[in-house]
Amino acid sequence: MTIAFLGGGNMANALIGGLLAKGFDRHAVSVVEISTAARERLAAQNGVRASAAPDAATIQADTLVLAVKPQDMRTALQGLSSQIAGKLVVSITAGVTLEAISRWLGGHRKLVRCMPNTPALIGAGIAALYALPEVSGEQREKAQTILSAVGEVVWVSEERLLDPVTAVSGSGPAYVFWFIEHLAATAQKLGIPQDPALKLAIQTVLGAAKLAAQSSESPAELRKKVTSKGGTTEAALKVFEAEKLAEGFARALEAASRRGAELGAELGKD
């Protein structure tokens, strides 16, 4: 597999680094990036070819990864439709639909759309992928190889499911950061100094997530094991229930999912 990245930002840099760490040949990777500083960073960190515009390496690659900003996608794809026949095109750009990408690429259909998240920057991401029917099994494996270089991968059966995926895992790290922020802030209000308060909050979330990932029991079952009748955990959970936090959280994710669909419609306009 030879890969050309269109865009060399943080996520592209993470994917390239992850691929190289897994033994992928750096000479099989090229990047098109208009920013001189970003090109220099890519060359310094990963030793891959980086150019300011599509070149021979871009044309010769069998896989093109779209990693540009959503608002720049249409412009970035101009002039490429005649050069991608038979190529796999993988988009990691949030919000832009495959219908829009296909239209801007002159009807090209070998397309995979992915929704990664920012923990990919440290190799701990999760990405959801959707492929059009025209994508072969071998090409699906190529897309999975690229995204799994920085974390776990799941496939969804319909593109519309990428909107709730965005709400859950794409935006999800922000919810976790918010929880850590407020867990630590309340710890401080209760008298714990700032540094240990933050350490307690971060390690609690990290440890609980690792326990949930490694346990054969569901999160609900693990929660019940921590919740003794009449104990401290039950006291806190009763407040959550009284404040209807679960219902509020569900509404928040529904709002994020709706906004994802709206952005897709807006970004796909000609």
At 107-144, the pLDDT tens digits run 999 999 999 999 999 999 999 999 999 999 999 999 99
At 41-98, the pLDDT tens digits run 888 888 899 999 888 888 899 999 999 999 999 999 988 888 888 899 999 998 999 9
At 1-56, the pLDDT tens digits run 999 999 999 999 999 999 999 999 999 999 999 999 989 888 888 889 999 988 88
Could you give the residue ranges of the DSSP H alpha helices within 78-215?
A: 98-104, 137-147, 162-165, 172-189, 194-214
- pLDDT at residue 268, as a whole number: 83
Among 162, 35, 167, 55, which Cα is nearest to 98's? 162
Predicted confidence band at 267 (pLDDT cuts at 50, 70, 90)?
confident
Among 114, 119, 123, 129, which Cα is nearest to 21's? 123
Residue with tokens 């897994």: 22
Predicted confidence band at 234 (pLDDT cuts at 50, 70, 90)?
very high
Instruction: Express as a percent the part of the chain with pLDDT over 70.
Output: 100
What is the reported pTM? 0.91
At 147-181, the pLDDT tens digits run 999 999 999 999 999 999 999 999 999 999 999 99
* Strand segments (E) across 72-182: 88-91, 111-115, 125-131, 151-155
Expressed in angstroms, the distance from the first to the final Cα of the chain is: 32
Q: Residue 90: what are its φ and ψ, rounded to 5°?
A: -115, 120
Six-digit token pair at 85?
């026949």
User: Domains plus CATH for the chain?
Assistant: 3-158 (3.40.50.720), 172-262 (1.10.3730.10)
Q: Are 68 and 50 in contact (CB under 8 A)?
A: no
**pLDDT reading at 270 higher than 80:** no
